Chains A and B, each alone.
Chain A
Amino acid sequence: MATKDTPLRRDRRTQQRLARGEAAALGEVYDRYASLVHGLAYRVLGDERAADTVTREVFVHVWEHPDRYDPNQGPLRTWIAALTHRLAVRELRDTGTAALERGGPGTAADLEQRVRRASVAARADYIVQSMPAPLRLALERAYFQRRDYRRTAADLGITEEEARRRLRLGLQLLATAQDAADPGAPPGQGGAA
């Protein structure tokens, strides 16, 4: 039964169950993270079948190598997101390179540019999904629902000052998506695959 565990305890136990070879644990991990994995892969690759393939690769990796996850480095969710990012970017680069070798349009520099843009977009998605809910809600009001910050404050029942703070902080977090030096760098913890 899901008791009142800390997230870290739950991640540790999940890892142990995977390591023990418990198929039910694999199902639970899939149910918990498949939409995150598939969404990130789709954001990088822009193709549903390619996203399906990466989703399969991610869960095969998690199932075959649960020991590669180090709970001391961060949550399981971050590790899985990083792994997804890495495998999706690799897939995009591989298919792009293969297309270039077949004489497809564009240059290697164009491809790197595409890889970088896709990578930043996926990292941004992950940041939005992982940021504290109050920040995400404020951004959603202001951006998708086109509310100004006063309406946002009224909608969320917070002060105008707090609304301004949340919008700025949310964007500051989001801006870090552009920072990684290596376009293939995962959103969080490194050393995934």
Chain B
Amino acid sequence: MSDMSAAETPARDIPPLVLEHRVLRSLLGAWALAACSPEEAAAVDAHLGECAACAEEAPRLRAAVELLQRPDSLDLKPSLRTRVLADCLQRRPPRIPVPEWAAPYDAETARLDALLQDIGDAEWHAPVRLRWFAAGETASRRTTVAGAVAHLLVVDGLVAVALGLPDPLGEIPAAAPGPASRTEAYWRASHLPPTRAVRAPWRAQSHDLVRTASFTGGSAGGLPVSYGDWALPLHDALLDRAFECWVHAEDIAEAVSYPYDPPAPGHLHRMIDLAARLLPEVLAARRRSAPAGPPPGGRRHLVAAGAPGRSLKLEIEGAGGGEWLIPLDSPAAVGSAEHEVAHVVLDGVEFCRLAAGRVRPEEAAAGQTGDRAAIRDVLCAAAGLSRL
């Protein structure tokens, strides 16, 4: 039978198809949806004049078809979550609150999850380039949307391990305990590239981290979380993970052409504050590894621990901004306005892009006055905060 000629033939001319009641009844759904052949439809039509049970069911199913509607692809605004939860918690104060230092992680993981919910199967395999700044150069690693989420899963796993939760890496051996080795080990462990199946364990773990952090209350905020070669106290580690979540959410959003906003100003401020607090250590590490010759950052002055030292004023503009005095000579020194030798002005999101390795230090749009070498050194240190 040719579909074309059948479709053009008026229904009454179709030779009657003889079907038993059982088959005709089973066709009612397809008939209601206009998803059977014209011959079958005609047979059902004829049958409805003879069979009371089918005649009763048929119009019900036709009416049900009218109720099928495409789900509205109305994106849930992330700001609604913040507003609704704040409203709830105001009406009934929680006995076990989410600690303030865990709030950015809670919010950023929820934002990324909302994005992941909206993307299709194929988009999970869209290419993503993870970038960071190492040894004065931009380094990068190719992966996919699912690979980036897997990266978040196993590095968040460092916090999970510190809190006594299961390690998402499981039995997979990693060459070293740090973020990059764990990620490479996870990616290598499967012959197949990661798929959207990685979303559920990532989300379950992020919920578990927030829940467990809540139970530790204020007391365990200082618990050390090991990143292999370095460690951060729990409250800073979760802030770091919130920052990474946002950075990779932007990578993912870019890969699938979705818009993505920066974090809430209060959360952005905490992330910038963490970066500012980490800078003196990075400066010290750069000094240690610098080749012989004039030390980076200009002539160094020896400063006693806890004493004020040469400082750079980091002024961050925009929502979440503020001012930080970065001690230049020693992580043990205290930033001091009297000893300010340089002043840098940067937009908050631009500073975060720099710290994420997305902007090269010499390309960062920064207003600068004072000691050029000190400024270059601090901007390079900020870029040096980035990693895989």
B306 within 8 A of A: no
On whether A125 and B76 interact (CB within 8 A), knowing A21-B92, A26-B85, A31-B110, the answer reads no
Looking at A30, A139, A167, A170, the one whose CB has the most chain B CB atoms below 10 A away is A167
Binary CB contact string for chain B from 70 to 104 against chain A (1 if under 8 A, 0 otherwise): 11101011001101110111011111111000000
Known: A1-B204, A23-B96. A164 touches B30 (CB 8 A): yes
Mask of B194-211 contacts with A, CB within 8 angstroms, 1/0: 000000000111011011
A42 within 8 A of B: yes
Contact between A174 and B91 (Cβ–Cβ < 8 Å)? no
A27 at the interface (CB under 8 A from B): yes
Q: How far is the CA of A139 from the CA of B68 in the complex (A)?
A: 9
Which among B33, B74, B94, B113 is the interface contact of A31 at CB below 8 angstroms? B113
B108-127 contacts to A (CB < 8 Å): 110, 113, 117
| Chain A 161-188 interface mask (CB, 8 Å, partner B; 1/0) | 1011111111110110110000000000
A152 proximity list for chain B (CB < 8 A) = 35
Q: Does B226 lie at the interface of the complex (its beta carbon under 8 Å from any beta carbon of A)? A: no
Residues in B with CB closer than 8 Å to A9 are none
Nearest residue (CB) in B for A141 is B35
Decide if A56 touches B87 in the complex (CB within 8 Å). Answer: yes
* Contact flag A171-B72 (CB < 8 Å), given A22-B94, A23-B94, A31-B113: no
B-facing residues in A140-171 (Cβ within 8 Å):
142-144, 147-149, 152, 161, 163-171
> Is A59's CB under 8 angstroms from B29's CB?
no
The yes or no answer to B262 lying at the interface (CB within 8 A) is no
Q: In this complex, what residue of B is CB-closest to A124?
A: B67
- Please name the residue on chain A nearest to B206 by beta carbon: A31
Is B61 in the interface zone, CB < 8 Å from A?
Answer: yes
A86 CB-CB contact with B under 8 Å: no
B165 within 8 A of A: yes
Q: Flag whether B64 is at the interface (Cβ < 8 A).
A: yes
Contact: B96 with A42, CB < 8 Å?
no
Given that A42-B72, A139-B68, A174-B68 are contacting pairs, would A64 and B26 also be in contact in the complex, using a CB cutoff of 8 Å?
no
Report if A116 contacts B (CB, 8 A): no
Task: Tell whether, in the assembled complex, residue A125 and residue B69 are in contact, meaning their CB atoms are under 8 Å apart.
Answer: yes
Instruction: Please classify the interface of chain A as helix (H, G, I), strand (E, B), loop, or mixed, using the class held by over half of its residues.
Output: helix
Cβ-closest chain B residue relative to A28:
B207
When distances are taken between beta carbons in the complex, the residues of chain A under 8 Å from B98 are 23-24, 27
Is there contact, CB below 8 Å, between A2 and B208? yes
Query: CB < 8 Å: which of B36, B57, B69, B207 contacts A149?
Result: B36
Give chain A nearest CB distance to B52 CB in angstroms.
Answer: 17
Given the contacts A35-B76, A164-B30, A143 and B94 also touching, CB distance less than 8 Å:
no
Which residues of chain A come closer than 8 Å to B204, judged between CB atoms? 1-2
Inter-chain CA distance A51–B36, complex, in Å, is 38
Closest Cβ–Cβ distance, residue B320 to chain A (whole Å) = 22
Q: Does A193 contact B (CB under 8 A)?
A: no
Q: Is the CB of B85 within 8 A of A27?
A: yes
Give chain A residues whose Cβ lies under 8 Å from the Cβ of B113.
31
B240: interface (CB < 8 Å): no
Cβ distance A181 to chain B, nearest Cβ, rounded Å:
16
Contact B67 A143 (CB under 8 A): no
| A124 CA / B60 CA spacing, docked (Å) | 13
Question: For the complex, is B28 an interface residue (Cβ under 8 Å from A)?
Answer: yes
A22 to B102 CA separation, bound complex (whole angstroms): 14
- Whether A52 lies near B80 (C-beta < 8 A) is yes
CA distance A35 to B65 in the complex (A): 24
Are A148 and B29 neighbours in the complex by a CB distance under 8 Å? no
- Is the CB of B214 closer than 8 A to any CB of chain A? yes
Question: Is A84 in the interface zone, CB < 8 Å from B?
Answer: no
Q: Which of B29, B57, B91, B207 contacts A24 (CB 8 A)?
A: B207
Q: Which of B69, B80, B84 contacts A124 (CB 8 A)?
A: B69
Extra A-B contacts (20), CB below 8 Å, given A31-B203, A59-B85, A168-B28: A1-B205, A2-B208, A22-B95, A24-B214, A28-B211, A48-B74, A59-B84, A60-B91, A63-B89, A63-B91, A124-B64, A139-B68, A142-B33, A143-B33, A148-B37, A152-B35, A167-B35, A168-B25, A171-B65, A172-B64
